[in-house]
């Protein structure tokens, strides 16, 4: 009977000896199971959080062997390395930012584990099995137990591919801006020199220079709005809109949408300004009822694209060829062929000036 009592009492964690009862030092199995279940729940919770993170996260043991990685890490690496065998990092290959190879045992995670310290401020790039590369910033951090012993490390890899592409695009735009400013200053100097040579008075020089610099500014304003290219129709409309009475009879523009790059836009803008100025001073735009009609199209010649522009004036005073060629004629006959390889022809017909330009265009999709 006594044995049966001792057994029953012992199941509750108490033991009877000589009529006395004392507490059992063994942790009840139910508490152990509860603690294990709680631990599994916590691990599942943190695992779900890490799997949901958009940043690549992985962990290693103290020796650097992979113990966990989330889907973002597998996507960054381009494959799913085996746990327990891959060391330091799951990347197929590693490189420094300058493109030189980086050994896995020298990577930031290896440094963090070997030196038992977090590593910050480094960059690297991983190469995937398909050959593509992705630059990233690592944040390896060693982990220690309550006694201060190294038990592993966690690392987060921040993909900076988009930032690198944005920086490259910014560098390209800055180089283009410098090139454009350089060309603009050279154009301004040429305009000033030529205007001074052909102007007979200070007022004539001032007015001509102001108009030509204004035409250049309008073209560059369009380039600034469009970033890289300008529509031919918009360029012509900006130059002729001051003479358009809104009826559609004084200024007529007709042609398909055609985008031209900065070099072509500047040259065509200056040519359009010179033709407009001449028409306003001596030609069809100098009288009521005069008309300027500009048409353009893109034709294919010997497997290349050519922009063909026709400028036709009518309804103005009778036209005669000027006794001397001014800056405008020099632009049309010399500058355009020299700068943009355009073929130009100017006819001073009695009924109005006729101008024709054939401008080679880059291949479709080209810069």
Instruction: Tell me the C-alpha distance between 139 and 136, whole Å.
Output: 10
Yes or no: say if 311 and 355 are a contact pair by the CB < 8 Å rule.
yes
Mean pLDDT, the chain, whole residue set: 80
Q: What is the mean pLDDT of residues 223-232?
A: 68
Categorize the per-residue pLDDT at 326 as very low, low, confident or very high, splitting at 50, 70 and 90: low
pLDDT at 22 over 60: no
Q: What is the mean pLDDT of residues 200-213?
A: 80
Domains of the chain: 1-42 (no CATH), 53-159 (3.30.450.20), 164-360 (3.30.565.10)
Residue identified by tokens 């108009």 is 211
pLDDT at 170 over 70: yes
Helices (H), the chain: 2-10, 29-52, 71-77, 108-115, 161-198, 202-226, 232-240, 262-281, 327-330, 336-340
What are the phi and psi torsion angles at 345 (to 5°)?
Answer: -145, 135
Task: Give me the pLDDT at residue 14, please.
Answer: 42
Rounded to 10°, the helix 161-198/262-281 angle is: 30
Q: Which residues pair with 225 in a beta bridge?
A: none
- Compute the half-sphere exposure of residue 267: CA atoms within 13 Å on the CB side of its CA: 24
pLDDT greater at residue 38 or residue 102: 102
Q: What is the mean pLDDT of residues 316-323?
A: 85
Percent over 90 (pLDDT), the chain: 38
Q: Tokens for 356?
A: 């024709």
Task: Give me the pLDDT at residue 87, please.
Answer: 86
Yes or no: say if 87 and 64 are a contact pair by the CB < 8 Å rule.
yes
Task: Give the range among 90-94, 174-178, 269-273 with minimum mean pLDDT.
Answer: 174-178
Task: Give the range among 2-6, 15-19, 56-60 with minimum mean pLDDT.
Answer: 2-6
In sequence order, which residues have a C-beta less than 8 Å from that of residue 97 and are 6 or more positions away? Answer: 123, 124, 125, 135
Categorize the per-residue pLDDT at 95 as very low, low, confident or very high, splitting at 50, 70 and 90: very high
Categorize the per-residue pLDDT at 125 as very low, low, confident or very high, splitting at 50, 70 and 90: very high
Instruction: Kindly state the greatest CA–CA separation across the chain.
Output: 140
């Amino acid at each position: 009977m006594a044995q049966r009592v001792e057994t029953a009492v012992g199941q509750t964690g108490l033991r009877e000896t000589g009529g006395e009862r004392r507490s059992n030092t063994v942790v009840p199995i139910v508490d152990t199971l509860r603690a294990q279940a709680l631990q599994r729940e916590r691990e599942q919770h943190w695992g779900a959080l890490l799997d949901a993170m958009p940043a690549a996260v992985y962990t290693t043991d103290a020796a650097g062997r992979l113990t966990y990685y989330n889907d973002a890490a597998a996507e960054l690496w381009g494959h799913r390395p085996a746990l327990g065998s891959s060391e330091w990092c799951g990347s197929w290959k590693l490189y420094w930012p300058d493109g030189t190879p980086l050994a896995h045992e020298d990577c930031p995670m290896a440094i963090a584990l070997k030196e038992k310290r977090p590593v910050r401020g480094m960059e690297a790039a991983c190469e995937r099995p398909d050959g593509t590369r992705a630059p990233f910033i690592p944040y390896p951090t060693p982990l220690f137990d309550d006694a201060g012993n190294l038990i592993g490390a966690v690392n987060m890899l921040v993909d900076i591919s988009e930032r690198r592409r944005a920086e490259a695009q910014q560098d390209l735009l800055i180089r283009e801006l410098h090139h454009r400013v350089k060309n603009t200053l050279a154009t301004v100097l040429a305009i000033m020199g030529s205007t001074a040579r052909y102007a007979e008075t200070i007022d004539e020089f001032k007015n001509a220079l102001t108009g030509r610099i204004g035409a250049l500014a309008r073209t560059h304003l369009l380039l600034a709005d469009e970033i890289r290219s300008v529509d031919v129709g918009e360029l012509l409309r900006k130059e002729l809109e001051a003479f358009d009475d809104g009826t559609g009879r004084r200024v007529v523009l007709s042609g398909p949408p055609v985008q031209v790059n900065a070099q072509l836009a500047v040259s065509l803008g200056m040519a359009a300004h010179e033709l407009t100025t001449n028409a306003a001073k001596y030609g069809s735009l100098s009288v009521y009822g005069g008309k300027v009609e500009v048409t353009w199209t893109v034709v294919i010649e010997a497997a290349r694209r050519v922009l063909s522009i026709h400028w036709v004036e009518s309804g103005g005073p009778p036209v005669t060829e000027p006794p001397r060629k001014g800056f405008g004629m020099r632009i049309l006959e010399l500058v355009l062929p020299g700068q943009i390889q355009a073929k130009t022809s100017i006819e001073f017909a009695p009924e109005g000036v006729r101008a024709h330009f054939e401008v080679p265009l880059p291949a479709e999709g080209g810069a």
